[in-house]
Structure 1
């Protein structure tokens, strides 16, 4: 990252505006339209697109740093934008490996398209390796998708929905089909976004449920047809690696903000017993040191794995356990740091007007993103102990 300046992409004045809006969107349960507009104008939607196509040409390691920085200002905005960056990141992973099949994603991002991530389905613990959504071939070579996707961030604003479904009718089926459904007049009635996002935290993401009623992905937007189950295809690796790293980045950014707020609170609060600021209290100092120890461990891990993806390092079958473990540790560490920050700040953090109150609700969402704790432990156990016996 020689010469990389995060402030050049996310200047302080932009982050200040985004931070000021965050509590409003949390309170009103609204999407941060102005944040997206500012980020689009700053070229943020195309940071992972090559310079020759009009993007910033950054790598995943730089994007991780930026997402940490953005999450420190507004976690929900960062998490929402994350889903767009996942697809542009997957396109980069493929392009770096000589595969131009998602070039249209890169071109679209530069043109202002917003890509949403339509993979999650209720009860589908297969995630990338299967789908409860039906993918029916069309006469024109595309696919019609029918099913329900959950946690579709960017629901009010996306223009392209990257998704998957299962083709069970083709002669070579079943196949898991990855494709992109455009939003427009032709999608009216075929793509329905429920207004059902009323959650504990991360309210600004507006990750609503999406009903697909024969939603059409044209032939030129079919990215892959893969056999169900674990698959070494670069698209699967791209989705898993970019998703896990950028998700971990958001929650690491939350941890850093909570740590900063705890340090600020320790300096501002005074003990009635000693007359000294809490920053001089041994117990408070131990707690903040413990928070810093947890946070400091995450940043180099993120950087190392993101750089390995950028450099096309070969971790072989260990890749998935390394990535799942990274995301799991980041979320667990972030939640612990936020919990300790609340204790350092005291009872004022229990009021809804407190930023720490919001962070304590936002950080909980990390538990539900793939890989969840059960999946992460299963993946890591298999890497070290081998698969379960039949």
Structure 2
């Protein structure tokens, strides 16, 4: 039995039903998914990338399945899986610099992603956080990180910041241990959707990361370091899987609603209405175009396919297509389900709020279009360098 089958067996129907029930409660109460996380940890799910035969493709399939029950749980767990997936991708390519991430995840540590910053549209290529050298190989970090999923539970937080003390600025990456002083977690996660993720802001107030926990120093701006590809590949593909799970669940709910509802005017099941049938069919067709794209790209990362300068275009394009398709599918499902969707306790109403978050994750549509245009057309020509 391969890893994909093993992970699917961990997420059996009974577990998914429990998660689905708790997802509604956590959303209503705006609280963290403690029970889900404890079950996943007990099953060994959080150490999936550290197991023999692990693959991105297998984990992606499992995350899509998890998201059909509890999207916010899946989204937050993604942030841990991104780091463990990065460590595995690098290891597969001969770089053991993050082996400790796999080792510690196997021992029960929970990793979180603390890179997002307000107004930083350069994403990984610049930072508003200050990284000040300690003189002992470590750094003190000062700044604010937003959308820090797993805030109540992480034990290791990956952050980066900019050291401008030298001739050329460098971007410094390292991990904070939860027990360290010098940071605080804001209680500011009161959002429209993905509420159980509890992605609170994290304020870094000179928190020190010793040399042993600093794992990269990179130049500002785009560069070819494998870490950048590893983060983008795992982040974008795992993210696409979560939103594909939302879309998949929406199609199921739309079909159930069409079979359940009945037209008083026509004295017939809604499933016999041509418009209802067309909406369900369109929703299913949209999602059927997304699943294989996610699966193939994950397999190509595992197989170390060479797409050259097209890799980032493929990754950001997948993210945009997946989140946009899921949003359209949820909208179609709501049209099929009718006014009941408008009540806060309705599952489709919750999916509608959750799916909106897809547009705020990197890469944005504008950024993705720029990346894809550059892959196909090259950088924008400098007018000053053109001849008359």
Same fold, TM-score > 0.5, yes or no: yes
Residue in 2 aligned with 1:47?
48
Post-superposition shift, 1:28? 0.7
Residue in 2 aligned with 1:340?
332
CA distance in 2, matches of 1:121, 1:27: 27
CA distance in 1, matches of 2:2, 2:55: 12
1:282 counterpart = 2:278: no
1:209 counterpart = 2:201: yes
Residue in 1 aligned with 2:226?
234
Deviations 1:189-244 (A, max 9, x none): x1100000000000001101110011121211111101111111110000001000
CA distance in 2, matches of 1:3, 1:277: 42
CA distance in 2, matches of 1:312, 1:7: 24
Post-superposition shift, 1:2? 5.1
Pairing partner for 2:346 from 351, 354, 357: 354
1:324 counterpart = 2:316: yes
Give the alignment's TM-score, normalised by structure 2. Answer: 0.96
Post-superposition shift, 1:141? 1.4
1:66 counterpart = 2:58: no
Contact 2:185 2:201 in 1 (8 A): yes
Residue in 1 aligned with 2:125?
129
Pairing partner for 1:379 from 348, 360, 371: 371
Unpaired stretches in structure 1, ≥5 consecutive residues: 52-56
Aligned-partner SS, 2:217: strand
Contact 2:3 2:58 in 1 (8 A): no
1:271 counterpart = 2:266: no
CA distance in 2, matches of 1:65, 1:337: 19
CA distance in 2, matches of 1:246, 1:4: 14
Aligned-partner SS, 2:4: coil
Aligned-partner SS, 2:290: helix
Give 1:179-328 correspondences, 5 Å limit.
Answer: 179-184=174-179, 187-188=180-181, 190-328=182-320
Residue in 1 aligned with 2:87?
91
Pairing partner for 1:101 from 97, 102, 107: 97
Post-superposition shift, 1:378? 1.0
Give the alignment's TM-score, normalised by structure 1. Answer: 0.96
1:33 counterpart = 2:34: yes
CA distance in 2, matches of 1:311, 1:143: 36
Given the superposition, is the C-alpha separation of residues 3 and 231 from structure 1 closer, same or farther in structure 2, using an over 3 Å criterion? Answer: closer
Post-superposition shift, 1:77? 0.3
CA distance in 1, matches of 2:166, 2:47: 36
Contact 2:240 2:323 in 1 (8 A): yes
CA distance in 2, matches of 1:306, 1:276: 44
Post-superposition shift, 1:166? 0.5
Unpaired stretches in structure 2, ≥5 consecutive residues: 383-388
Residue in 2 aligned with 1:118?
114
CA distance in 1, matches of 2:240, 2:207: 31
CA distance in 2, matches of 1:302, 1:202: 22
Residue in 2 aligned with 1:54?
none
Contact 1:181 1:218 in 2 (8 A): no
Pairing partner for 2:169 from 174, 181, 186: 174
Contact 1:130 1:166 in 2 (8 A): yes
Contact 1:47 1:63 in 2 (8 A): yes
Deviations 1:337-378 (A, max 9, x none): 000000000001111110000000000000000011111111
CA distance in 1, matches of 2:89, 2:3: 22
Residue in 1 aligned with 2:4?
4
Post-superposition shift, 1:4? 3.3
